C-alpha cells in the first residue's frame, strides 16, 4: 500500500471578470513610449468571462489554456497556443513575481466579444491573476497584483478594480470613485457587438493621423462626475463622449448606422465602446433597455442588455 496521504478532489478556482465600457474617454498626443495619455471614466458592466484554474500543465507547457465560448463570440480569434494568450502572460508575470513557475490548466468561458473594445482579453488576464493567486495560495498583495496587471495591458488594472472608476496615465492608473451617489447609481446599457473586431493599435494609429492636434493633458470634466452623481440617465446621456469614436467610425463606416439604429430604437444615446467596434446605448431603466434591445434585435443578430457598475474580478463558486 502506498504511504502517501490520500489526495482530495482536484481544487478548481473560478474567477469572473467583467467587460468595461468608457463612459468618457479623452485621448492626448502620444508619449515618448508611443502610448497615449488618457483621462477616462471606466464602467464595468454585467457581461462576463469566467476563468477557472486547476492544478495541471504538462512538462513542456506549464499553463495549458482551453476555451468555451458563447455563440456570439468568435472563438477562432482567441489564441490558445502556448505563450499566446494574455492568460499565459499573466501566469508568467505572477510566477516571476514569486520567483517560481506556475503550473495550471486554465479554462476560459467567454461571453465578452473578442477585439470588441470591451476589454475581454484584459478581463481574462485579471481573472487569471486572481485565480492563480488563490489556487497556488500566493497571497499576492493588491499593490503587486495591480502592478502586474498594468504590465499586462492598460485596461487590466481596471478589470481587477471594477465599478465606476477614473483611469489616467495610459489608462492603467485607476482610482475607484467613492462618492456614494456614483457608487450606488445603476445604469442600463444595450450592447451591440460587431461580427468583426477592430485592433486597438490600429485605432490609436489612425487617431494619430486624424487628430494630430489632440490635447496634451486630457481631463475628465467635472460635469461628467456631476452627471454620474445625479443618477439621471438623461444627464449622463448628454455627457457621454469618446475621442476614439470618430476614428472608429472612419475605419468602420457601418457603425454610423448601428449608432443611428440604437437611437431610432429609442435609446437615450449611443456611443462606441473604447476602441470599438461594439456600440453601447444608454437607456432609462431595465424595462426601457429590454424594449430598445427588442427593437434592435430586428436588425442586428446579437444584442445584449447589461447593467453597470458591477464588481471587478471576483471569485465565484461553480454549482
Ligand X SMILES: C[C@](O)(CO)[C@H](O)COP(=O)(O)OP(=O)(O)OC[C@H]1O[C@@H](n2ccc(N)nc2=O)[C@H](O)[C@@H]1O
Ligand Y SMILES: Nc1ncnc2c1ncn2[C@@H]1O[C@H](COP(=O)(O)OP(=O)(O)OP(=O)(O)O)[C@@H](O)[C@H]1O
Query: Is residue 201 part of the contact set for ligand X (CB under 6 A)?
Result: yes
What is the enclosing helix (H) or strand (E) of 104? strand 104-110
Distances (CA, A) of 304 to 43, 95, 179, 291, 292: 16, 36, 29, 12, 10
Query: Is residue 242 part of the contact set for ligand X (CB under 6 A)?
Result: no
Q: What's the DSSP call for residue 14?
A: E
CA 276 – CA 50 distance, rounded (Å):
22
Comparing CA positions, the residue from 128, 113, 102 lying closest to residue 50 is: 128
Other CB atoms within 10 A of residue 15 CB: 25
Subset of 51-80 contacting ligand X (CB under 6 A): none
- Out of ligand X, ligand Y, none, what residue 53 binds, judged by CB under 5 to 8 A for its kind, is none
- Out of ligand Y, ligand X, none, what residue 118 binds, judged by CB under 5 to 8 A for its kind, is ligand Y
CB nearer ligand Y, residue 120 or residue 312: 120
Q: Which stretch binds ligand X (CB under 6 A): 34-42, 44-52, 137-145, 250-258?
A: 34-42
Distances (CA, A) of 21 to 33, 41, 175, 263: 25, 8, 16, 18
Q: How many residues bind ligand Y (CB under 6 A)?
A: 22
Query: Is residue 119 part of the contact set for ligand X (CB under 6 A)?
Result: yes
Q: Are the C-beta atoms of residues 305 and 290 closer than 8 Å to each other?
A: yes
Comparing CA positions, the residue from 248, 251, 237, 241 lying closest to residue 285 is: 237
Told to judge if 155 belongs to the known catalytic residues of this protein, a careful annotator would answer yes
- Out of ligand Y, ligand X, none, what residue 171 binds, judged by CB under 5 to 8 A for its kind, is ligand X
CA 267 – CA 236 distance, rounded (Å):
12
Q: Which stretch binds ligand X (CB under 6 A): 33-41, 100-108, 182-190, 309-317?
A: 33-41
Subset of 267-286 contacting ligand Y (CB under 6 A): 274-275
CB nearer ligand Y, residue 120 or residue 308: 120
Choice among 49, 155, 243, 261 that is catalytic: 155
CB nearer ligand X, residue 14 or residue 200: 200
- Could you give the string, one character per residue 170-199, with x where binding to ligand X holds by CB under 6 A and - elsewhere? xx----------------------------
The answer to whether the annotation marks 161 as part of a ligand binding site is: no
Told to judge if 20 belongs to the known catalytic residues of this protein, a careful annotator would answer yes
- Out of ligand X, ligand Y, none, what residue 124 binds, judged by CB under 5 to 8 A for its kind, is ligand Y
Burial zone of 3 (CB within 10 Å; 0-12 exposed, 13-18 middle, 19+ buried): exposed
What is the enclosing helix (H) or strand (E) of 106? strand 104-110
End-to-end CA separation in angstroms for the chain:
35
Q: What is the DSSP string of 49-103?
A: EEEEEES---SS-SEEEEEEE-TTS-GGGS--STTTSHHHHHHHHHHHHTTS---
Subset of 137-156 contacting ligand X (CB under 6 A): 153-155
What is the enclosing helix (H) or strand (E) of 263? helix 254-264
- Out of ligand Y, ligand X, none, what residue 111 binds, judged by CB under 5 to 8 A for its kind, is none
Binding residue (CB under 6 A) for ligand Y from 37, 117, 193, 233: 117
Query: Is residue 39 part of the contact set for ligand Y (CB under 6 A)?
Result: no
Query: Is residue 89 part of the contact set for ligand X (CB under 6 A)?
Result: no
**C-alpha R_g of the chain:** 20
| Chain positions contacting ligand Y, by CB under 6 A | 77-79, 85-87, 108, 114-122, 124, 155, 197, 200, 274-275
| Chain positions contacting ligand X, by CB under 6 A | 22, 25, 35-36, 38, 40, 119, 122, 153-155, 170-171, 200-201, 204, 274-275
Catalytic (active-site) positions = 20, 155
Amino acid at each position: 500500500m502506498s504511504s502517501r496521504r490520500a489526495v482530495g478532489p482536484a481544487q478548481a478556482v473560478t474567477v469572473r471578470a467583467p467587460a468595461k465600457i468608457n463612459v468618457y474617454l479623452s485621448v492626448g498626443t502620444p508619449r515618448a513610449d508611443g502610448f497615449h495619455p488618457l483621462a477616462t471614466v471606466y464602467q464595468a458592466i454585467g457581461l462576463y468571462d469566467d476563468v477557472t484554474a486547476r492544478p495541471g500543465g504538462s512538462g513542456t507547457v506549464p499553463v495549458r489554456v482551453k476555451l468555451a465560448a458563447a455563440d456570439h463570440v468568435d472563438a477562432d480569434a482567441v489564441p490558445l497556443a502556448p505563450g499566446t494568450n494574455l492568460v499565459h502572460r499573466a501566469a508568467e508575470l505572477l510566477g516571476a513575481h514569486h520567483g517560481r513557475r506556475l503550473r495550471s490548466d486554465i479554462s476560459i468561458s467567454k461571453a465578452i466579444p473578442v477585439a470588441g473594445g470591451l476589454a475581454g482579453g484584459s478581463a481574462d488576464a485579471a481573472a487569471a491573476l486572481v485565480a492563480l493567486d488563490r489556487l497556488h495560495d500566493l497571497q499576492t498583495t493588491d499593490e503587486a497584483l495591480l502592478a502586474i496587471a498594468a504590465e499586462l495591458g492598460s485596461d487590466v488594472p481596471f478589470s481587477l478594480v471594477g465599478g465606476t472608476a477614473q483611469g489616467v496615465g495610459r489608462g492603467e492608473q485607476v482610482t475607484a470613485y467613492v462618492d456614494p451617489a456614483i457608487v450606488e447609481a445603476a445604469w442600463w446599457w444595450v450592447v451591440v457587438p460587431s461580427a468583426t473586431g477592430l485592433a486597438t493599435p490600429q485605432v490609436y494609429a489612425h487617431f494619430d493621423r486624424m487628430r494630430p492636434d489632440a490635447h496634451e493633458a486630457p481631463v475628465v470634466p467635472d460635469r461628467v462626475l456631476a452627471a454620474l452623481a445625479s443618477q439621471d440617465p438623461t444627464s449622463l446621456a448628454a455627457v457621454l463622449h469618446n475621442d476614439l469614436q470618430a476614428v472608429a467610425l472612419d475605419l468602420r463606416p457601418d457603425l454610423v448606422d448601428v449608432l443611428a439604429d440604437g437611437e431610432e430604437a429609442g435609446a437615450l444615446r449611443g456611443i462606441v465602446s473604447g476602441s470599438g467596434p461594439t456600440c453601447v446605448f444608454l437607456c432609462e431603466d431595465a424595462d426601457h433597455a429590454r424594449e430598445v434591445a427588442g427593437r434592435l434585435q430586428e436588425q442586428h443578430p446579437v444584442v445584449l442588455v447589461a447593467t453597470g457598475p458591477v464588481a471587478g474580478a471576483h471569485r465565484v463558486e461553480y454549482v
